[in-house]
Amino acid sequence: MPDSSTATALHVEEHNPALLHHFADAEQQRNSASLGMWVFLATEVMFFGGLFCAYLVYRLKYFGDFGAASKTLAVGLGATNTAVLICSSLTVVLAVWAAQTARRTLLIGSLVLTMLLGLVFLGIKGIEYKDKFEEHHVPGASFSFEKVPIPGHPGQFADPRHAQLFFSLYFVMTGLHALHMIIGLGIFAWLLAMAWKGRFTPEWHTPVEIGGLYWHFVDIIWIYLFPLLYLIDRHP
């Protein structure tokens, strides 16, 4: 707002500092911000959609090989991470509610807790990646997937080339998701700094709301990644 001084001079009667000039009222301003975030999330759906589509095509084409490769992932760690993200989604809605109702301590506490849970998620993901490196399941020159039986087909072994395709998709999809988590942590660090300075009020806390939308979206992506990557062909 470079000309805010002239604007206040012209409209002395009422000027809410939280309301930008080109919006009719605070509600319209809030709705516009959240709509903008939703449009961005729609592009993210298409972004991840391409990967889900590639997964679908190759899962159907190399059904047994994908099952064998999926079985090598650690379900316990994956399920724990799902629960961790669900907990973080709860702390995010608590943060939004705290901002709406001017509860500063709860707001700051929820933001800190969300970031901690995000870090726990990334830490567990890091342990899983480390295991995959040690097992030579990372696509590349040292990839090795010999004599791994195909679930439900005794005596048949997975084709390492097809299994490598599964792990390529696994690392790209979870890696892209982890990148979104890291960006989310950056956004929440900024929200925390703003909340610490007391910038958010019940009238204006739009960043908390749309930052929350982003975090929930990243949670939804994981809700689909978990069963698709970890839980196919688990039964004995």
Decide if residue 116 touches other proteins (CB under 8 A). Answer: no
Query: What whole-number distance in Å separates Cα of residue 219 and Cα of residue 20?
Result: 32
Centre a 10 Å sphere on the Cβ of residue 100 and count the other Cβ atoms it contains.
Answer: 16
- In degrees and rounded to multiples of 5, residue 35 shows phi and psi of -65, -40
Q: Is 10 in the site for other proteins (CB under 8 A)?
A: no
User: Encoding tokens for residue 27?
Assistant: 């509600």
Phi first, then psi, for residue 17 (nearest 5°) are -65, -20
Q: Whose Cβ is closer to other proteins: residue 88's or residue 138's?
A: 88
SS3 label, residue 149: strand
Q: How far is CA 169 from the centre of its chain?
A: 17
Interface with other proteins (CB under 8 A), residue from 10, 18, 20, 42: 42
Q: Does 30 bind other proteins (CB under 8 A)?
A: yes
Q: Does 20 bind other proteins (CB under 8 A)?
A: no
Nearer to other proteins, 68 or 138 (CB): 68
Q: Is 159 in the site for other proteins (CB under 8 A)?
A: no
Answer yes or no whether residue 144 interacts with other proteins by CB under 8 A.
no
Nearest 5°: CA angle at 140, between 137 and 144? 40
Rule CB under 8 A: say whether 120 interacts with other proteins. no
Contact 230, 174 (CB under 8 A): no
Question: Residue 157: what are its φ and ψ, rounded to 5°?
Answer: -115, 150
Is 77 one of the binding residues for other proteins (CB under 8 A)?
Answer: no
Q: Which stretch binds other proteins (CB under 8 A): 76-84, 122-130, 161-169, 175-183?
A: 76-84
CB of 226 to other proteins, least distance (A): 8
Residue 88 CB neighbour total at 10 angstroms = 25
Cβ proximity to other proteins: between 118 and 212 the closer is 212
How much of the chain is helix, strand and coil, in % rounded to 5?
Answer: 70, 0, 25
The site for other proteins (CB under 8 A) is made up of 27, 30-31, 34-35, 38-39, 41-42, 45-46, 49-50, 52-53, 56-57, 60-61, 75, 79, 82-83, 86-87, 89-90, 92-94, 97, 100-101, 202, 209, 212-213, 216-217, 219-220, 223-224, 226-228, 231-236
